[in-house]
Amino acid sequence: MNILEIKDLSKKYPSFELKNVNISLEEGYIMGFIGANGAGKTTTLKSMLNLVHKDTGEVCFFGMSMDQNERQVKHRIGFMFGDSVFYSKRKLKDITDVVQRFYDTWDNEMYQNLMEKFQLDPNKKLEQLSQGMKVKYSITLALSHQAELLILDEPTTGLDPVARDELLELFQELIEDGKRSILFSTHITSDLEKCADYITFIRDGEIVESSTKDDFLEQYRVVRGSKEQLKAVEHELVAYKTNSFGFNGLMRVEFFEKHPELDAAAPSIDDIMIYYAKAVK
């Protein structure tokens, strides 16, 4: 079953537009949501949760329409945004006390176990926690109300490599039983090379690609060739760079098949993002 299904979501601001966003995610998988700063990641996540109003489109969670079942749906989702500092001067135990009242599904034993596991001190104030600990606290709250879907906006930003690795390991642990899914945005693509099952790539408010990570990478080749060769293929490249030897560029695989004369390598997620950033629309 699709735990999340977004159809043709659009939202227009004076200077930015989210255009016909389509995303779906099955139960039991991790989806990485990537794109440059300002590409529309946070807006997409917030509009699917009705935290900002969408103009058109349909969002379904767990097979239920978000607009008609918002309360029910939100019980089963845990979300975290960088800017939603709840009460930074309050102690964790006081915040928890408020949060748990919203949920009939609150599991206090689970909560205690997770606080212990993550070594979170209930008497500390939220503002005293490191970035990594804040993310863990958010996850603790989400899991304690038995969320089946975690939506996290840039959870790894600001973490050192060790804390980031720990968090990604936790993500994989959380989906191991196949019952939960995680959707998280990031611009650190190494977060995704390993653990992500699906990748959704957004650029200027439009989804470029939303597929399994392997399919995503297999759709492109980084090609290189001489300046003469460039003339023949220029219009088929997403973008390219020239140097004194010739050129390097990104090409979709269906075009590449027509050009066995070009040298090609498999791209990294970074390669794809970087070439798209150079591409003229």
Closest to 229 in 3D by CA, of 263, 253, 197: 263
Beta carbon nearer to other proteins, 27 or 206 = 27
Beta carbon nearer to other proteins, 167 or 230 = 167
Beta carbon nearer to other proteins, 161 or 178 = 178
Residues of this chain that bind other proteins (CB under 8 A): 28-30, 168-169, 172-173, 175-178, 193-198, 212-214, 265-266
Beta carbon nearer to other proteins, 44 or 181 = 181
* Angle at alpha carbon of residue 281, lines to 55 and 186, rounded to 5°: 65
User: Least distance in Å: CB of 51 to other proteins?
Assistant: 29
User: Least distance in Å: CB of 38 to other proteins?
Assistant: 28
User: Least distance in Å: CB of 196 to other proteins?
Assistant: 6
| Pairwise CA distance, residues 142 & 138, whole Å | 6
Beta carbon nearer to other proteins, 30 or 230 = 30
Beta carbon nearer to other proteins, 129 or 264 = 264
CA end-to-end distance (rounded Å), the chain: 36
Residue with tokens 């607009």: 67
| Pairwise CA distance, residues 33 & 153, whole Å | 9
Contact in structure between 59 and 66 (CB atoms under 8 Å): yes
Residue with tokens 């979170």: 120
User: Least distance in Å: CB of 198 to other proteins?
Assistant: 8
Q: Which pairs count as long-range contacts for 250-258, CB under 8 Å and 24+ apart, including other chains?
A: 250/220, 250/221, 250/222, 250/223, 250/275, 250/276, 251/220, 251/221, 251/222, 251/223, 252/219, 252/220, 253/218, 253/219, 253/220, 253/221, 256/221, 256/223
User: Least distance in Å: CB of 121 to other proteins?
Assistant: 28
Closest to 155 in 3D by CA, of 179, 181, 175, 182: 182
User: Least distance in Å: CB of 30 to other proteins?
Assistant: 7
